[in-house]
Structure 1
Amino acid sequence: MSPVSLESIPSEILLKIFSYLDAVTLLCTGCVNRHFYHLANDNFIWIRIYSTAFSPKRSNWKVNSAEKTAVSMNSLSVEDKEPGYWKKEYITKQRASVKAALAQVLKPVNPYTGLPVKTKEALRISGLGWVIILKEKNGREYIMEHIDLSVNDSSVTVMWYGKTWPQLATLSTLDLCGVTPVFMDRSKTPSKNGPRWHSLIAKYNLSNITESTMIGWDRLIRIFCLHPGLLVGLWKREEELAFVMANLHFHHLVEKSTLGSATVPYELPPHTPLLDDSPEYGLHGYQLHVDMHSSGIFYLCGTFRNLFTKKGSIENGYVKLVVISFKNNTEHLPLIGKVGLSWRTDIFDGCIKSCSIMDVTLLDEYGKPFWCFSSPVCMRSSGPSDGPNFLGQTYYVDYVDSEGRVHVELVWIKETEEYFIVSLVLYLRVAKINHWFGTTY
């Protein structure tokens, strides 16, 4: 007797079998082949799942009449809709419930940081992870799950490495996506085996890996920074991928990682301009929290309050906000330890001197996050005529994006073998300020 293949089983019997499956199993079954996919889209099965999950509770004495009504309504709804309609409706409703649950978790805000108090809890209960999708020029894709993850005070650092990287010359883009289970059950540990939702966070053009984006090197690798917050490590010898590191600030991280789609990033809700009660005086009452760290080691962790600047401090489209003044040595701060950015692969590891991750959280006068980022940075030696060289060798750290710039000046004190920050200045784009407050600076 020859064995019976699944393809030989009549569709009616398969549909009967599928009707006993739960939503997760049914979605997975639809991935087996094209025939199963069409059968697993059956509206009669999905409307039953939808009704069971979302129909309002009914009292016992109304069950019979309500069920008859539901059956007649379901028949009409199924006949009028294209295959897969009720599957899409079910998934949409489930995603809406996930969004509502996460919004509730993220609602409490820390008055000192301006960030949600329970971001780490939201990451845990959502089962959130991150993948990179490497796309070749011929259209082929490689999906890589993250290997390492570290949660910092205001950011997450995610690492990918392995032995099976595609050749860099064949690649065109890299997509960074958050991935979560389609169906979230807070009573169970999130599973990576079921259907998952991809939310595009950022797309990177790998042709931008050039000398101009290189920020450091050691004897084995060179590292390149791609905005926003991506670090790419290349083996020096082969000029091939060694690792990828993503640095993600907590601000709107959960929303960006869960509420977008596989092709379209999450769009922040429209900003309503805040009322600036004294626009003639410029910015006042700002608060900055800045970290410099790598692999759980913090070289700087500073909070600066009551920052202000006058309206006249506008130059070349930026408003200058002095955080640490060179003229006031009581404000100067040391960096703790030997600054370096740690990296690892499954074979080697190392540390690139003078590089680190910088996390910046700038709050406005109302305690709302105004400018936030997490990005690799590098200390570079200044020229002989730049900076206060009479104190020691001078270094600087610069960061720039569409919303502003950060400029840090440091001095190496040879006697104590430590760096001191002697100047820290933020340059905020006037366009950002006008958009935020509805002003016309």
Structure 2
Amino acid sequence: MAAGRGQFFLSLIQGLQQARPGGLRDRKKKPARADLPVPRPPPQPHPPPPCPPPSQPSTVSMPPVFNNRENHIERLPPEIILKIFSYLDADSLLCVTFVNRQFYKLANDNAIWYELYAHEIERKRWRPRLTVLPESLAGVQDMPPGFWKRLTFREMGCPKDTSWKKELRHINPYTGMPAQTQQLLGSLRVSWEITLIQKGGQESVYKQNHNFFSDSSVTVCWKSGMWPRIQQVSTLQLHGVIRPFTSTTTDKPQWRSLISKIHVCRTEKWQFVGTDKLVKLLQFDEGIIVGIWRGTWTIAFIMANLHFHKLVERSLLGSLSCPYRPPEVTMYDDVDPDYDPQGYTVLIVLHNSVRRIMHRRYTRLLCSRDGVRDGFARLRLTSEHTPVLGRISFPWMAEGGLQGDIKNCCMMTVTVLDESQRPLWCLSSAGSLLLSTYNNEQFVLLHSDAKGRVRMRFVWMQDMQQYFLIGLHVCISVTKLNNDSDDVLVQN
């Protein structure tokens, strides 16, 4: 027990001596006990790496560069390249021929161009023409190189190609207009676009939403888009647009032919033709009708009534800034201004954007010398009562499903043919019925310009709930009677 007490005091003395400064420093430390934790020294920060000397630039590791200029497309078998080319349209296939010699040879393969040619023929099946096609693929390859390629582009044609002019030679004896105008416009994929140029220079293009073909005109409607106020518009342009034949993309350039250009900022050209609770109708000189919202004067929709006379040429042969004008014909005849016009034909159609209201045709019209007044030859067509089918109205539709129907307002298409059944005066415009009596029974529809005048008288039969045409007079300028039909300017 004494030994244990002595060992305790000895350990105490050694601990006191180690706590003193300089005490027992030269002695060897005893190993710590296994059951006591040994304190770890605090971590020392690593010194920063030494900077390289300025004389030695630092090197950056770059990925290895492989000088491999091998073209993997050329390693493809010709069959694979032909399979890829078979999915291209005619425009893209023509561009591929300018890449290299191999693509030029493969892109002129008769089998590919035969498929494009057959597709083009199938699209134009309405045309009364016989086409001889080979019965087997062997017959396709037997043709000389580039044979089907030339036929394909010949069928597709370009806007100024004269191949489609042959279709316009077939004249409808009833209307005096080309018989296949509607089919030809559809075959050439002709559509119409409106371009609004604001006073600040901003241009907005609107594509057509609906069209209605009547006997001698087509009514085109535009209703979709962000429309500006009518006071902000400076110029309105109507273009005929040719869409690509075999391509479904819309980013490719399209042929645009200017049909009419109107300066909307000139308010003296505005003519109000009708109104209802929502919109007002404004008509301009070129037969373009603009519907504006009441109160805000924002454009709601635009309609255009286009006459069939030279419509295909005007939609194709114009340019972006210049409309099509027929070639001038030298006149060799010497016609007396007091010559009695006889044998003329007048075709009048009343319609709107969805249906035909009235259609009348008058032939062998005569005019005496007494009928020429103030430079106009008067043709009295009828004084009989002619019934009118349905109500005379102007239906409209705007974006968002808003629609309405303006009463006593419609579109009028007039065609005057000369003795040889050639167009002499063509008119397409809108008009409204005006009260001519105080009993709300008789109405009159008027149109007057430098080329001619039209006056139609209607009576409303209350018991039958129907309009009747009781009078129709057409006056043509004597100067216009002496001009050739090729110089006729269509008044849309």
TM-score scaled by length of structure 1: 0.72
Could you tell me which of 397, 415, 419 is aligned with 1:361? 415
Residue-by-residue CA offset, 1:119-161 (whole Å, 9 max, x unaligned) = 1111111100000010011222111111111111211111111
- Structure with higher Rg: it is 2
Question: Is 1:95 the counterpart of 2:158 in the alignment?
Answer: yes
Could you tell me which of 401, 404, 411 is aligned with 2:452? 404
Percent identity between matched residues is: 32
Could you tell me which of 226, 248, 252 is aligned with 2:306? 248
Could you tell me which of 385, 391, 394 is aligned with 1:338? 391
Per the alignment, residue 345 of structure 2 pairs with: 287
Could you tell me which of 157, 164, 187 is aligned with 1:125? 187
Question: Is 1:135 the counterpart of 2:197 in the alignment?
Answer: yes
Distance in 1 separating the partners of 2:381 and 2:240? 34
Per the alignment, residue 273 of structure 2 pairs with: 215
Could you tell me which of 229, 233, 246 is aligned with 2:287? 229
Structure 1 residues 43 and 116: CA distance shift in structure 2, 3 A = farther
Structure 1 residues 106 and 43: CA distance shift in structure 2, 3 A = farther
Structure 1 residues 179 and 163: CA distance shift in structure 2, 3 A = closer
Whether the 8 Å contact between 2:194 and 2:239 is mirrored in structure 1 is yes
Distance in 2 separating the partners of 1:375 and 1:344? 19
Read off the aligned partner of 1:247 and give its amino acid letter: N
Whether the 8 Å contact between 2:270 and 2:284 is mirrored in structure 1 is no
TM-superposed deviation, 1:43: 13
TM-superposed deviation, 1:423: 1.3
Per the alignment, residue 470 of structure 2 pairs with: 422
C-alpha RMSD over aligned residues? 3.8
Distance in 1 separating the partners of 2:420 and 2:249? 40
Distance in 1 separating the partners of 2:346 and 2:300? 34
Residue-by-residue CA offset, 1:92-114 (whole Å, 9 max, x unaligned) = x9536x53122022121122221
Residue-by-residue CA offset, 1:397-428 (whole Å, 9 max, x unaligned) = 11123311111112222232222212111110
* SS state at 1:312 partner: helix
Whether the 8 Å contact between 1:379 and 1:396 is mirrored in structure 2 is yes
Structure 1 residues 431 and 99: CA distance shift in structure 2, 3 A = same
Number of residue pairs matched? Answer: 361
Q: How does 1:4-83 map to 2 (within 5 A)?
A: 24-25=91-92
Whether the 8 Å contact between 2:206 and 2:225 is mirrored in structure 1 is no
Could you tell me which of 373, 378, 387 is aligned with 2:427? 373
Could you tell me which of 221, 237, 255 is aligned with 1:197? 255
Question: Is 1:314 the counterpart of 2:372 in the alignment?
Answer: yes
* SS state at 1:406 partner: strand
Residue-by-residue CA offset, 1:298-318 (whole Å, 9 max, x unaligned) = 221111111111233211121
Structure 1 residues 402 and 192: CA distance shift in structure 2, 3 A = farther
TM-superposed deviation, 1:26: 9.5
- 1 or 2, which has the higher strand percentage? 1
Question: Is 1:261 the counterpart of 2:319 in the alignment?
Answer: yes
TM-score scaled by length of structure 2: 0.65
Whether the 8 Å contact between 1:275 and 1:437 is mirrored in structure 2 is no
Distance in 1 separating the partners of 2:332 and 2:218? 29
TM-superposed deviation, 1:320: 0.7
Residue-by-residue CA offset, 1:51-82 (whole Å, 9 max, x unaligned) = x8xxxxxxxxxx99xxxxxxxxxxxxxxxxxx
Distance in 1 separating the partners of 2:409 and 2:457? 14
Structure 1 residues 209 and 148: CA distance shift in structure 2, 3 A = farther
Could you tell me which of 148, 158, 164 is aligned with 2:210? 148
TM-superposed deviation, 1:275: 6.1
Distance in 2 separating the partners of 1:307 and 1:44? 68
Read off the aligned partner of 1:396 and give its amino acid letter: V
Question: Is 1:179 the counterpart of 2:232 in the alignment?
Answer: no
Whether the 8 Å contact between 2:89 and 2:247 is mirrored in structure 1 is no
Distance in 2 separating the partners of 1:142 and 1:345? 17
Distance in 1 separating the partners of 2:254 and 2:226? 23
TM-superposed deviation, 1:360: 1.1
Structure 1 residues 22 and 271: CA distance shift in structure 2, 3 A = same
Whether the 8 Å contact between 2:423 and 2:485 is mirrored in structure 1 is no
Structure 1 residues 140 and 198: CA distance shift in structure 2, 3 A = same
Read off the aligned partner of 2:260 and give its amino acid letter: A
TM-superposed deviation, 1:195: 2.4
Unaligned runs of 5+ in 2: 1-84, 109-143, 146-152, 487-492
Unaligned runs of 5+ in 1: 1-19, 30-39, 53-62, 65-89, 326-330
Structure 1 residues 116 and 211: CA distance shift in structure 2, 3 A = closer
Read off the aligned partner of 2:419 and give its amino acid letter: E
Structure 1 residues 212 and 199: CA distance shift in structure 2, 3 A = closer
* SS state at 2:197 partner: strand
Read off the aligned partner of 1:369 and give its amino acid letter: P
Distance in 1 separating the partners of 2:427 and 2:385? 23
Whether the 8 Å contact between 2:214 and 2:356 is mirrored in structure 1 is no
Higher relative CO (Cα under 8 Å, sequence separation at least 6) belongs to 1
Whether the 8 Å contact between 1:274 and 1:437 is mirrored in structure 2 is no
TM-superposed deviation, 1:209: 5.0
Residue-by-residue CA offset, 1:304-335 (whole Å, 9 max, x unaligned) = 1111112332111211111113xxxxx22122
Structure 1 residues 282 and 307: CA distance shift in structure 2, 3 A = same
Whether the 8 Å contact between 2:451 and 2:477 is mirrored in structure 1 is yes
TM-superposed deviation, 1:262: 0.7
